[in-house]
Copies of this chain bind each other. A is one copy, B any other.
Amino acid sequence: MPRIAYFGPQGTFTEQAARALADPREHELLPLDTIPAVVAAVRSGEVAAGCVPVENSVEGAVPATMDALALGEPVVAVAEHVLPVHFSVLVRPGTEAAQIQTVASHPHGLAQVRGWLEANLPKATAIAVNSTAGAARAVHAGEYDAAVSAPVAVEHYPLHELATGVADVADAVTRFLLVTRPGALPAPTGADRTSLVAVAVNRTGALSGLLHELALREINLTRLEARPTKDRFGEYRFFLDVEGHLAEQRIADALAALHRRCLEVRFLGSYPRTDGTQTQVAAPTRDEDFAAATDWVAAVRRGERA
C-alpha cells in the first residue's frame, strides 16, 4: 500500500489535510517529525507523496516548507487542500477551567489564540512545544493542564474538549500541498494553479520584468512571497502562484521566458485548486492564439506567408 508522509505527529492540522488529500483505501499515512524529513522521504522514494503546510492567511508563509521546496532535488505539488484553522482546547476529563495553570501548544498556535487565552484563561502560563499534537500528548501524560490543538487530536488522545472553534481571526485558513517526485503532471481541470520559485538577478527592474512576463500573457498571480535568502539581507527568492496549468500554452510560454530571464527557476507543480475557481482565458492568450501565431511565423520562415 503506497504511503503518504505528513508533518506529524498524529493529531495535527497537517494530519487533517493529509486525510483529505489521501484515498483511505489506497494510502497509508505516515507521520514524520519535521517538514524537511517529509520532503526527504519523498525524494528518496521511501513514500509516494508528502503533505506539508505552505501558507496561513494570518501568519503568512511557512518558512520550513519554502526552504524544503526551493532547495535540494526537485519535488512537485500534485494537489492542494485549504483547511480552516479552528483550534480545540483539550483537557483531561474532569479538569475545570478554573484549575488550568498551564496551556501548551506550538508557538504559532499560541499566537493565533492569544486573545482567547487572555479572555478565558488569563492566569494560565503558555508553554511552547514542538507541535499542537505534542501538546495534547503532554496533557494526556499529565505534564500540562490544557492543550491548544487541532480538532483531530481527540481521535488519538482520550481528552475532553473544553472549547472548540477557538480562533482570534474567525476565517483563518491554512493551505497544504501534496508533493511527489517529478513525473506525469495531473490532468488540467480548467481550475488549476501553478507554483514556481524564481531567483531574479539583483538589478533594478528585475522583479518588474519577471512579473511583466506574466502580465503580458494575462496570467493572474494569486500569491507572491519574497523569502529572504539566509545568506544576505536584502536578497530574495520569489515564490509565485499563478492561475493556470503548464499544459496551457500561455503558462508554458511564460515559464520559458522566465527560464531565459532568471538566475534560477524551479517548477513546483500544476494542480487543481481546492476552491474550484475556473481560470478565465480569452484572446489573445488562448492555446489556439499561440498555435496560430507559431504557425504564422513558421510559414513566414518557409517563405509561404508574409
A1 to chain B, nearest CB (A): 34
Question: What residues of B have a CB within 8 angstroms of the CB of A211 in the complex?
Answer: 205, 207-208, 211
Segment of A11-19, A72-80, A155-163, A223-231 engaged in the interface with chain B: A223-231
Interface of A is mostly: mixed
The residues in A between 194 and 218 inclusive whose CB is less than 8 angstroms from any CB of B are 203-205, 207-209, 211-212, 214-215, 218
Task: Indicate whether A68 reaches chain B with its CB closer than 8 angstroms.
Answer: no
Question: What residues of B have a CB within 8 angstroms of the CB of A236 in the complex?
Answer: 224
A93 to chain B, nearest CB (A): 24
A-B contact pairs, 11 of them (CB 8 A): A57-B228, A107-B108, A128-B128, A173-B233, A205-B211, A205-B218, A208-B208, A208-B215, A212-B212, A222-B234, A223-B234
Task: Indicate whether A24 reaches chain B with its CB closer than 8 angstroms.
Answer: no
* Distance in angstroms between the alpha carbons of A228 and B111 in the assembled complex: 17
Question: What residues of B have a CB within 8 angstroms of the CB of A169 in the complex?
Answer: 230
Task: Indicate whether A37 reaches chain B with its CB closer than 8 angstroms.
Answer: no
Given A208-B208, A211-B208; A127-B129 close (CB under 8 Å): no
